[in-house]
Amino acid sequence: MNLSLMKIRSIFPHFNEQRITAEDFWRAARDAELIVRQVPLAVDGFYTIYRGKHVVLLNSRLKSVAWLRAALHEFHHYMFDVPGTDGGYTFYRSGEFTDRREHRAEAFAVVGLMPWPELERLRSADMYISPWLTKLVKERLWVRREFGL
C-alpha cells in the first residue's frame, strides 16, 4: 500500500470499501481542525490557508451528492497539497482540470462516493434509470484505469 493510501485510510478507514458519508467528512474535518464554511461561490469549492488556519469553502447552492463530492475533493487538497500553515495557497476548480493535483483530488472524491465493491454490485438497469449514476460509473472506471483503485 502506498503512503498516500495509508494516510487516507488513517482518516477514512473504509476507503474504497464503503462510501464516505457526509458524517464521515464532518468527523474528519472536526478531527483535523479544518474550518469548513458554506457560502455562495462561483465554483463548487476551494481550499486555502487563511491566517494560519486551513479553510474549505463550499458552494452553499450544492446539495446532497454534489456537495459531498466537492467537500471530499477539497479535503484531499487539505491532506496532500499544501503542507504547514503558510498562506498564499488556494486551490479551486472551474471547469477543465489542467493540474495533476486536481485529477488526484477528483479521483479521491469519486472513490469516496463509489467504492469498488459498490460498483461491482451495480446492474445495468441501475444506470439506465439514472444518467447521473452512469456518469459516476464512467468516472469511477477512469479512476481504476488511471490510479489502480
Contact present, 5 and 148 (Cβ < 8 Å): no
Q: Is the per-residue pLDDT at 118 higher than 90?
A: yes
Supply 21's cell numbers.
Answer: 458519508
The answer, yes or no, to whether residue 51 has pLDDT greater than 70, is yes
Strand partners, 90: 48
Secondary structure E strands in 15-108:
35-39, 45-50, 53-59, 90-92
pLDDT value of position 117: 95
- For the chain, strand residue ranges (E) read 35-39, 45-50, 53-59, 90-92
pLDDT value for 127: 72
DSSP-based three-state secondary structure for 56 = strand
pLDDT at 64 over 70: yes
- Please name the residue that has the C-alpha cell 467504492: 115
pLDDT over 80 (residue 86): no
